[in-house]
Amino acid sequence: MTTITQGHDAAHDHAHDSHGPARGLSRWLFTTNHKDIGTLYLLFALVMLFVGGGMALVVRAELFQPGLQFVNPEFFNQMTTMHALIMVFGMIMPAFVGFANWMIPMMIGAPDMALPRLNNWSFWILPFAGTILLSTLFMDGGGPAAGWTLYPPLVLQSGNSLAFAIFAVHLLGMSSILGAINVIVTIMNMRAPGMTLLKMPMFVWTWLITAYLLLLVMPVLAGAVTMLLTDRFFGTSFFQAAGGGDPVLFQHIFWFFGHPEVYIIILPSFGIISQIIPAFSRKPLFGYSSMVYATAGIAFLSCIVWAHHMFTVGMPLAGQMFFMMSTMLIAIPTAVKIFNWTATMWRGSLTFETPMLFAIAFLFLFSIGGFSGVMMAMAPLDFQYHDTYFIVAHFHYVLVPGALFAAIGGAYFWLPKWTGHMYDETLGKIHFWLSAVGVNLTFFPQHFLGLAGMPRRIPDYATQFADWNAVSSIGAFLFGFSQLMFVYVVVKCIRGGKQATAQVWDNPEGLEWTVPSPAPYHTFDQPPPIK
Provide the binding-site residues for another protein, judged by CB under 8 A: 3-4, 7-8, 114-115, 177, 180-181, 184-185, 188-190, 215-224, 227, 235-238, 240-246, 248-249, 252-253, 256, 314-317, 319
Residue closer to another protein (CB basis): 24 or 235? 235
Residue closer to another protein (CB basis): 215 or 328? 215
Burial of 244 (0-12, 13-18, 19+ CB in 10 A): exposed
CA–CA separation, 477 and 387 (whole Å):
24
- Catalytic annotation, pick one of 36, 62, 112, 382: 112
- Catalytic annotation, pick one of 429, 456, 457, 492: 456
Residue closer to another protein (CB basis): 187 or 285? 187
E-strand ranges in 23-118 read none
CA–CA separation, 387 and 313 (whole Å):
12
Residue closer to another protein (CB basis): 233 or 433? 233
Kindly state the smallest distance separating residue 214's Cβ from another protein, in Å. 9
- Catalytic annotation, pick one of 148, 205, 412, 513: 148
**Would residue 386 show up in a list of annotated catalytic residues for this protein?**
no
Kindly state the smallest distance separating residue 472's Cβ from another protein, in Å. 36
List C-alpha distances in Å: 381 to 313, 316, 328, 366, 376: 14, 16, 13, 21, 6
CA–CA separation, 133 and 128 (whole Å):
9
- Spatial contact of 259 and 251, defined as CB atoms under 8 Å apart: no
List C-alpha distances in Å: 310 to 36, 87, 241, 350, 368: 42, 23, 18, 43, 22
- Catalytic annotation, pick one of 176, 354, 419, 482: 176
Kindly state the smallest distance separating residue 389's Cβ from another protein, in Å. 28
Residue closer to another protein (CB basis): 56 or 178? 178
**Would residue 334 show up in a list of annotated catalytic residues for this protein?**
yes
**Would residue 274 show up in a list of annotated catalytic residues for this protein?**
yes
- Catalytic annotation, pick one of 35, 337, 386, 431: 337
**Would residue 252 show up in a list of annotated catalytic residues for this protein?**
no
Residue closer to another protein (CB basis): 35 or 191? 191
**Would residue 309 show up in a list of annotated catalytic residues for this protein?**
yes
Burial of 161 (0-12, 13-18, 19+ CB in 10 A): buried
Kindly state the smallest distance separating residue 460's Cβ from another protein, in Å. 25
**Would residue 498 show up in a list of annotated catalytic residues for this protein?**
no
**Would residue 517 show up in a list of annotated catalytic residues for this protein?**
no
**Would residue 421 show up in a list of annotated catalytic residues for this protein?**
no
- Catalytic annotation, pick one of 263, 389, 468, 505: 263
- Spatial contact of 150 and 228, defined as CB atoms under 8 Å apart: yes
**Would residue 34 show up in a list of annotated catalytic residues for this protein?**
no
- Spatial contact of 478 and 441, defined as CB atoms under 8 Å apart: yes
Q: Which residue blocks in 378-514 are alpha helix, DSSP H?
A: 379-385, 389-398, 405-419, 425-451, 466-495
Residue closer to another protein (CB basis): 21 or 219? 219
- Catalytic annotation, pick one of 158, 210, 334, 388: 334
Query: Which amino acid is residue 38, in one-letter code?
Result: G
Directed axis angle between helix 93-108 and helix 34-63, to 10°?
150
Kindly state the smallest distance separating residue 65's Cβ from another protein, in Å. 34
Kindly state the smallest distance separating residue 329's Cβ from another protein, in Å. 23
Query: Which amino acid is residue 306, in one-letter code?
Result: W
- 3-class secondary structure for 355-389? HHHHHHHHHHHHHHHHHHHHHHHCHHHHHHHCCEH
Kindly state the smallest distance separating residue 156's Cβ from another protein, in Å. 11
Tell me the sheet residues that pair with 499.
421
- Catalytic annotation, pick one of 34, 232, 259, 394: 259
DSSP helix/strand/coil, 191: coil
CA–CA separation, 257 and 300 (whole Å):
13
**Would residue 337 show up in a list of annotated catalytic residues for this protein?**
yes
Residue closer to another protein (CB basis): 185 or 375? 185
Kindly state the smallest distance separating residue 148's Cβ from another protein, in Å. 18
Question: Which residues are identified as catalytic?
Answer: 83, 112, 148, 175-176, 259, 261, 263, 274, 308-309, 334, 337, 456
